Amino acid sequence: MRKLLAATAVAALTGGAGWAEDVKIGLSMGFTGPLESMSPNMAQSAEMAIREVSDSGKLLGGSKVQAVRADSTCADAAAAVTAVERLVTAEKVNGIVGGMCSGETIASLEKVGVPNGIVMISPSATSPALTDIDDKGFFFRTSPSDARQGEVMADIAAERGVKSVAITYTNNDYGKGLAESFKNAFEKKGGKVTIVAAHEDGKADYSAEVGALSAAGGDALAVVGYVDQGGSGIMRGVLDAGAFSTFILPDGMIGQPVVDKFGAELETSFGQNPSSEGAGRDSFGGLAKAAGFDGTSAFTGESYDATALILLAMEAAKSSDPKVYKDKVMEVANAPGEKIGPGELAKGLELIAAGQDIDYDGASAVEFVDPGESAGTYREVDFKGGTLNVVRIH
């Protein structure tokens, strides 16, 4: 009896290591809103990692894992907070992949995640403001900060001979942060910024914004916005007005939907989004195809990796308690250790259980820098021939 009580006490302290339990991972994503076209592929990526781990039977003594979706709407901070509160209080999730957009991520992290001690790993919230947020060690992101994206964006524009740009940005944390980063980096390279103007999402008419951008002019228009919202509205307006023919498009605008909307009208346009290359990315693409979704879509690899890191950290901590396993996320993400790629999560769990170190590279070449965010690589793209083409990796 004494041994049984001791074993029970150990199991309680370790969150069930050696004792199968039900683990829940919340997916807080904008299934409606300005990035709704990206969300399905991102969610399916996360769920692919969850199935891989659950089916392996190697997490915490054979624990099963299930996904619980919640619609953050991406643009509405209050809705995101409500969605995440449901995940935490009603669903009692053990960790959250999300948020998706920067503003709603900040709100849900500060009002729900940190107060409740829940690990949140965002695959796509890129605002520089998240770098310095007081997250108590509960927040990570597999996408790099827009402080880095702004520099890459300026490098690409300068290399392509752009001397002057107008900038329009969606009026939120993401838009403001990236627009400022790009402006500063472009001006340091000697470029001229003719105007920096905000736009609101969800408007039926952008004629006033188009008029201001047209009057300012420039070699190209940088559209720091969302493909399913105001970003595309602005582009349609300036194209119809003949104001610009070349667009510089960052991550919120990159994907098949922008090609579907504009096609051959993007012949001279270009942009970038977080991504990587190599065996990990190729392997992930094959797994995604077999699972029936597009693994080349923006932030899909980052979504798989965010989910994998939560589950691998649980095994490393021998606990599904986020207050415990949060301290293992950086450890499983970085060297030293045997490299683990997509489709190798069972192997990673086995190595951890055997007391060996792993270095999870995943689909997006994960390498965390303090305070727990990706160092970041980007793919440069263009739209020649009416298709989305990868030019190179930065």
Note the pLDDT tens digit of each residue in 332-385: 999 999 999 999 999 999 999 999 999 999 999 999 998 999 988 899 999 999
In whole angstroms, give the CA distance from residue 166 to residue 64: 51
SS3 270: strand
Per-residue pLDDT band for 9 (boundaries 50, 70, 90) equals very low
Per-residue pLDDT band for 20 (boundaries 50, 70, 90) equals confident
Residues 234 and 310 grouped into a single domain: no
Q: What is the mean pLDDT of residues 107-117?
A: 98
pLDDT tens readout for residues 141-178: 999 999 999 999 999 999 999 999 999 999 999 999 99
Residues 314 and 301 grouped into a single domain: yes
| Domain enclosing residue 290, as ranges | 2-145+278-374
In whole angstroms, give the CA distance from residue 155 to residue 189: 8
Q: Which amino acid is at 8?
A: T
Residues 135 and 155 grouped into a single domain: no
Residues 155 and 269 grouped into a single domain: yes
Would the pLDDT of 2 be above 60? no
Residues 342 and 354 grouped into a single domain: yes
Number of domains in the chain: 2
Residues 118 and 78 grouped into a single domain: yes
Residues 215 and 282 grouped into a single domain: no
Residues 117 and 190 grouped into a single domain: no
Lookup: tokens for 114: 């940190």
pLDDT tens readout for residues 32-48: 999 999 999 999 999 99
Residues 266 and 386 grouped into a single domain: yes
Residues 17 and 128 grouped into a single domain: yes
SS3 379: strand
* CATH code of 182's domain: 3.40.50.2300
pLDDT, position 7: 37
> What is the CA 317 to chain-centroid distance, rounded?
25
Residues 302 and 234 grouped into a single domain: no
In whole angstroms, give the CA distance from residue 45 to residue 376: 19
pLDDT tens readout for residues 223-270: 999 999 999 999 999 999 999 999 999 999 999 999 999 999 999 999
